[in-house]
Structure 1
Amino acid sequence: MDIRDIFAQNIRRVRRQRGVSQEELASLANIDRTYVSALERSVYSASLDVVASIAKALDVEPHELLLKSRRN
């Protein structure tokens, strides 16, 4: 599993744990909802700025979205 897949799984997992829709996350992170969807499907690689924006929107540290969890 590569970093893009780990990031995708972590975004989806944390977003769902928080009860946030893709649309809400996009609004909070100031990005497009279709981009959130693409990130969760590992279609695109996120820039560091996007990682930081998503982390802030989800109230986690940016590195937490890049760590491979034991469940992955």
Structure 2
Amino acid sequence: MNIKEKFGQKVRTLREEKSMSIEHLANISNVDRNYISDIEKGKRNLSIEIMEKIITALESDFTGFFNDKIFKK
């Protein structure tokens, strides 16, 4: 699994844990829902700004988000 897929999987996991739809995440992060869908599928290269918007909308921070076993494999 590459880093884009790992990031997308983590976004999907957090979003689903919060019972949040892609549409809702898109609205609160101000990121297009199709873009978020592609992120979750591991199809997008992200800017740090987009990462920050999504991570913040998921009520996390960079340290907490990336301090996950998925990123240590």
For 2:67 and 2:6, the matched residues in 1 are separated by 7
Residue pair 2:8, 2:41 contacting (<8 A) in 1 also: yes
Q: How many residues align?
A: 71
Corresponding letter in the other structure for 1:20: M
Q: Indicate the RMSD between aligned Cα atoms, in angstroms.
A: 1.7
Residue aligned with 2:69, SS: coil
Q: Which runs of 5+ in 1 are unaligned?
A: none
Give the TM-score normalised by structure 1.
Answer: 0.86
Q: Which residue of 2 aligns with 1:59?
A: 59
TM (normalized to structure 2)? 0.85
CA distance, structure 1, for counterparts of residue 14 and residue 69 of structure 2: 12
